[in-house]
Each structure stands twice: as structure tokens, then as C-alpha cells.
Structure 1
């Protein structure tokens, strides 16, 4: 088997993944694109392992580690996406860059800082 075939497929998979990360606004599609990129890396690891005829099969072992890390990343990423969706009712990545809860109501004034009050003996002047 020629090494060029899996490398071309892996390059195409990685390119589609990079396009998905850069162009998509939906957080779930971004996570899927990251998975495509990791699968391209896995394909390269296995292809070079077979091509080099490694006796310890290091590429395949690294592929297993990558699959485990990808599963953990997807689990954590989906948990974050679900929490964001519960709070904001949307998962648009461009609109999630703001840290405010709603964006329409200002944060309530917490009042004077107790640390400043204890040093000056009276309320802080703002």
C-alpha cells in the first residue's frame, strides 16, 4: 500500500475540520470539526506505523490514547454546551463571547466594599 493514499485522505479530513472550526457558529458543529481533525491525526499515526513496520506498534498505541482523550474532550465539551444552552437558550459561538448573563439588564450594585469600610471606618466614596 502506498503511503500517499491515507495521507491525502488525512489531509482532506484535517482541512474539513479546520474549515469547520473557523467557519461554523454552532458549538456542536465546532466540536464535530475538532473530532475530524483528531481522526485525521489518528489516520496519520496508524499509516506511518504500518509504513515503518514498527514492532512495538507505537502509532497504534498513540492512536488509542488520542481516542481516549477525544472521548473525554467531547464529554466535557457537550456538558459545557448543555449548560450554556440551559442558561442562554442558544449555542451560537459568536454570541457567547460576552460574559454578561443577559446583556440587557445591568448588574446590581453590590454596595460598599467591606474591606474598604473596615480600613476607613466609614463607607467608601465612589
Structure 2
């Protein structure tokens, strides 16, 4: 079964749009991180889709694997930061976090 490239790119655009919408509109830090992960996954889907159309070259798939590893490291660091912010401010709501002198 061969899925047309247009369908994959449309799915990627939908994932990217949902991710951007989550980053822009949501206030909770974990939801913002989930939106960033959706954006990364949309980019990975594009890389793999374009890589599939040239089976001789695997650069898109290798780059996608690199992006997945970086996203996992980013998620671990970001969640650690969110936990520290929650311990300090007692909230994970980004609009309620203020600097204290």
C-alpha cells in the first residue's frame, strides 16, 4: 500500500498546527512541552516522507533519528526545569510565575 506524499504532508501540517496552537494558547508548562514535541514529530514525519521517495538515500531517516534523540533529551531537561519551577513557585501555570527578589 502506497500512501501519497500529499496525504503525509497534510497530516504533518495538521500536527504542526496543533503543536503551534498548544504552544501559543496554553498556560500549563507541560502542555506547552507537549506542543513542542508535536512540532518535532511533524518535522520528523516530513523528513521520513521525503526520504521514502528516494530509497537510495537514508539521510532523512537518519536525521529524523537524530531529532528524536535530541527531543528526548530536551524533554528530560524541560521536565526537570518544570519540577524545579513547581517546587519554587508552587504552580506550573506559566502566567502565574513571576520573578521574586
Instruction: Indicate the TM-score class for this superposition, using the shorter chain for normalisation.
Output: over 0.9
- Provide the rounded CA distance (Å) in 2 between the counterparts of 1:94 and 1:76: 21
Aligned counterparts of 1:91 and 1:79: Cα–Cα separation in 2: 12
Superposition TM-score, scaled by structure 1 size: 0.75
The equivalences for 1:72-111 within 5 A come to: 72-96=73-97, 98-100=98-100, 107=101
Aligned residue for 1:116? none
Kindly state the Cα deviation for residue 38 of structure 1 after the two structures are TM-superposed: 0.3
Q: 1:115 aligns to what? A: none
1:73, 1:48 → 2: CA distance?
25
* SS state at 1:7 partner: helix
CA-based RMSD of the aligned residues comes to 1.0
Q: What is the Cα deviation at residue 54 of structure 1?
A: 4.3
Q: Which structure has greater helix proportion?
A: 2
**Equivalence for 2:62:** 61
Could you tell me how far 1:99 is from its partner in structure 2?
1.5
User: Equivalents in 1 of 2:50, 2:96: separation in Å?
Assistant: 41
Structure 1 residue ranges (4+ consecutive) displaced by more than 3 angstroms after TM superposition: none
Name the residue aligned to 1:27: 29
- Per the TM alignment, residue 30 of structure 1 is displaced from its structure 2 partner at its CA by 0.2
Matching residue of 1:46? 48
Higher relative contact order (CA 8 A, sep 6+): 2
CA-to-partner distance for each residue in 1:78-106, whole Å, 9 max, x for gaps? 0000001111110111122x221xxxxxx
The two structures have a TM-score, normalised by structure 2, of 0.93
> What is the rounded CA distance, in whole Å, between the counterparts of 2:19 and 2:77 in structure 1?
19
Aligned length: 99
